[in-house]
Structure 1
Amino acid sequence: MASDWIWQQPDWPTFHWQPEDLAPVLRECVQAQGRLMGMAGSVGGSLSAQSELDALLQNIVTSSAIEGEQLNVGSVRSSLARRLGLQQVDGDKVSQRSEGLAQLLLDATQHYAQPLTLERLLDWHEWLFPEQDHALGARPIRIGALRGEAPMQVVSGRLDRPTVHFEAPPRQGLERQLDVFLEWFETSRNEVGLDPLLRAGIAHFWFVTLHPFDDGNGRLTRTITDLALAQGEAQAIRFYAMSASILDDRSGYYRVLEASQKATMDITRWLEWFLQTLLRSLQQAMARIESVLGKARFWQAHPQHSLSEEQTKVLNRLLDGGVRGFEDGISAAQYQAVAKVSKATATRHLAELLEKGYLTRLPGGGRSTRYQINHPG
């Protein structure tokens, strides 16, 4: 066994970091978090519920994708929609896998005020692995129980010459290690001077280093992170999906974890990566909500009943950013292709939308004439 795993350090788990190095990105995260919460508060009821559903769905799907698992998106969406009291999409068969994943994330975020106990963790693990879904797995795992006596290693390469990227603490004493983590997780909620976002990053690193289960450690780690973030915000509604941003830099995620788990108790590098990734997820969520708000403002200002089905379709796709390559406006030929109408009809439709104020004409003329959305205000 390697002699330099972080959990073998004599001061484990007394983490420390360089506050001055983290201050700029931490400040950006706090400001973005505040702006996002302000924007989310201005979204109407149905739009807010849909935005929350989209964020939760993205979180579940991408957290599994980090581990190489592709989920049935429609099934997960239906499970979430039912639990959130939203209308389900007909035809989406709901699996036990989807039900468990939806129950797991909603328990963590909606019941953020409840303490994280070992019993709750074991319940989460059971929801993550419905027995029938794992029956065909490559190796049996203990479901709803801590891992066995065999060394827990993350390896790659040849079977006869594997590269060990990480080895978790031994099974003996794991209960005590978990007790220390869970006690810290509870008491640190009220720790003066510990920013909630740093607390979420510490919890993520600490739990994934313990690796207490045979399988599912990564997904449970990200669930604990969502719980910590919800506790810091003191609200159950989620509008951003950090797992999506982790997936975008999955190789960076594993690199910084491996480097930090072989280093000293100074986890500044890990926390910097964590905060930068969180910031991207907050910024992406703000862009999505701004798109939702912009679309709502547009249709409030412009009556939809006076439009043809084709005109409404093109406008919605432009508002959704769904027509790639049209960032600089849409031409008559492009309108014709999107709406699937004749050249004459496309020209007439565009003239009507221009006259009614739905679109504005950009500088240029002839075949190069382009049009863009006329946003109110």
Structure 2
Amino acid sequence: MSEESPSSDHFYIWQQTDWPEFSWSAEALAGALRACQQAQGRLLGMVDAAALDDQARSELDALLQTIVTSSAIEGERLNVESVRSSLARRLGVAGEPKHPATARSEGLAELTLDATRNVDAPLDLPRLLHWHELLFPEQESILPTSVRVGSVRGHEPMQVVSGRIDRPTVHFEAPPRDGLDAELDAFLTWFNTSRDDTRMDPLLRAGIAHFWFVTLHPFDDGNGRLTRAITDRALAQGENQAIRFYAMSSSILDDRKGYYHILETSQKGGLDVTAWLEWFLRTLLASLRQALGHIDRVLAKARFWQEHRSQSLLPEQLKAINRLLDGGERAFDDGITASKYQVVAKVSKATATRHLADLVAKGLLEQLPGGGSKTRYKVAY
């Protein structure tokens, strides 16, 4: 979707008399909210059990996923290696491959870490404008000159459209520029004060912040990415945990069509945002469960190597075992064969067979039923 001018005759949520007095059904959200809270608690408990080095790498992976997928939602492909290098340097993660940093990767890393780590600082207009500047480094910008970088949008009507240029489909029109400063100030005031409101559940606060800010659409471009940065900030504040281990943007990307649909229907509806919050909590739960699976593999890997710490292994064997332990690779869903070991370890077929037999003898692998050239092995947990 793109962001354009001119105006439309739709009736939008911000035109409601009591805007932005949102309401929702606590009863309808209770089950999803409880599931998210339980998953969140499990994740934080598992993180406490992980080694410091594992924590740092898991956070690096989650932040990288956040940046890459948030940009992908807007149809932008990033240089992943450059972004990872910029994050690793800022997080102090040693042993990461070094790739040339760019103004783009540096800006995105700075924005994401400020949003999720510096959570006690107020979210004010200067910080928001600085984040916008970080999104669009001047030397790498390919934006049209109409985009005001580091500044709130101008007086042209702001529409979210898709389809043909000559016959666009208008999905949403944002509040007009007149009055936008007051609207933005009201949002920032609410964001900074609602954190201490004991009546507001932190997860619902994050959902409301997301919907409110993206509805204001205060910039010419970059509104979606800043919305998701604000959402991550709200979630980090609610957890009292600056380290991030899940990427909600990844789950939003998985349901990108649903994301745009629920935004459009909610922005054309009344002030009851129960449907939006149901979608938000369901998507948050998906990201939490994804992170739980990742941390579980990290802890299992640590336990495995603790159990086999006395074993003497060749570098090729270590590499293959770690690939199996890391999981997430469909190629190894059914175990590893000698031919797959050859590819991973870069050894001959005879050497692969010998290495695998040695790993079985030492108790690190076990042979699965079957035999012949397709004999498969899995990690012996």
TM-score range, shorter chain: over 0.9
Instruction: Give the direction of change, closer, same or farther, for the CA distance of 1:143–1:368 in structure 2 (3 Å limit).
Output: closer
Which residue number corresponds to residue 131 of structure 1?
Answer: 138
Q: What are the residue-to-residue correspondences of 1:212-223 with 2, within 5 Å?
A: 212-223=218-229
Over the residues paired in the alignment, what is the CA RMSD in angstroms?
Answer: 1.9
Greater mean alpha carbon deviation, residues 7-16 or residues 298-307 = 298-307
CA distance in structure 2 between the partners assigned to 1:151 and 1:331 by the alignment = 60
Count of residues paired in the alignment: 374
Which aligned segments of 4 or more residues in structure 1 are displaced greater than 6 angstroms?
none
Deviation at 1:332, TM superposition (A): 4.1
8 Å Cα contact 2:85-2:98 kept in structure 1: no
User: What secondary structure is seen at the aligned counterpart in 2 of 1:357?
Assistant: coil
- Give the counterpart letter for 1:191 in structure 2: D
After TM superposition, the score normalised by the length of structure 2 is: 0.93
Superposed CA deviations along residues 41-89 of structure 1, whole A, max 9, x for unmatched, are 1111111111111111111111111111111111111211221123374
Deviation at 1:327, TM superposition (A): 2.5
- Give the counterpart letter for 2:61 in structure 1: D
Counterpart selection for 1:100 from 98, 107, 111? 107
CA distance in structure 1 between the partners assigned to 2:54 and 2:45 by the alignment = 15
CA distance in structure 2 between the partners assigned to 1:7 and 1:304 by the alignment = 65
Instruction: Give the direction of change, closer, same or farther, for the CA distance of 1:237–1:309 in structure 2 (3 Å limit).
Output: same
Superposed CA deviations along residues 151-184 of structure 1, whole A, max 9, x for unmatched, are 0001122333221110000000001111111111
Q: What are the residue-to-residue correspondences of 1:351-366 with 2, within 5 Å?
A: 351-365=357-371
Work out whether 1:349 is the aligned partner of 2:355: yes
Q: Which runs of 5+ in 2 are unaligned?
A: 1-7
Work out whether 1:231 is the aligned partner of 2:237: yes
- Give the counterpart letter for 2:295 in structure 1: I
User: What secondary structure is seen at the aligned counterpart in 2 of 1:143?
Assistant: coil
Which residue number corresponds to residue 121 of structure 2?
Answer: 114
Which residue number corresponds to residue 87 of structure 2?
Answer: 80
CA distance in structure 2 between the partners assigned to 1:364 and 1:90 by the alignment = 39
- Give the counterpart letter for 1:241 in structure 2: A
CA distance in structure 2 between the partners assigned to 1:76 and 1:368 by the alignment = 39
Greater mean alpha carbon deviation, residues 152-161 or residues 110-119 = 152-161
Deviation at 1:90, TM superposition (A): 5.2
8 Å Cα contact 1:154-1:167 kept in structure 2: yes
Work out whether 1:143 is the aligned partner of 2:140: no
Counterpart selection for 1:36 from 43, 66, 75? 43
Work out whether 1:257 is the aligned partner of 2:254: no
After TM superposition, the score normalised by the length of structure 1 is: 0.94
User: What secondary structure is seen at the aligned counterpart in 2 of 1:190?
Assistant: coil
Work out whether 1:10 is the aligned partner of 2:17: yes
User: What secondary structure is seen at the aligned counterpart in 1 of 2:21?
Assistant: coil
User: What secondary structure is seen at the aligned counterpart in 2 of 1:163?
Assistant: strand
Q: Which runs of 5+ in 1 are unaligned?
A: none
CA distance in structure 1 between the partners assigned to 2:41 and 2:377 by the alignment = 35
8 Å Cα contact 1:304-1:312 kept in structure 2: no
Which residue number corresponds to residue 179 of structure 2?
Answer: 173
8 Å Cα contact 1:78-1:88 kept in structure 2: no
Superposed CA deviations along residues 266-290 of structure 1, whole A, max 9, x for unmatched, are 1111111111111111111111111
Counterpart selection for 2:161 from 149, 155, 164? 155
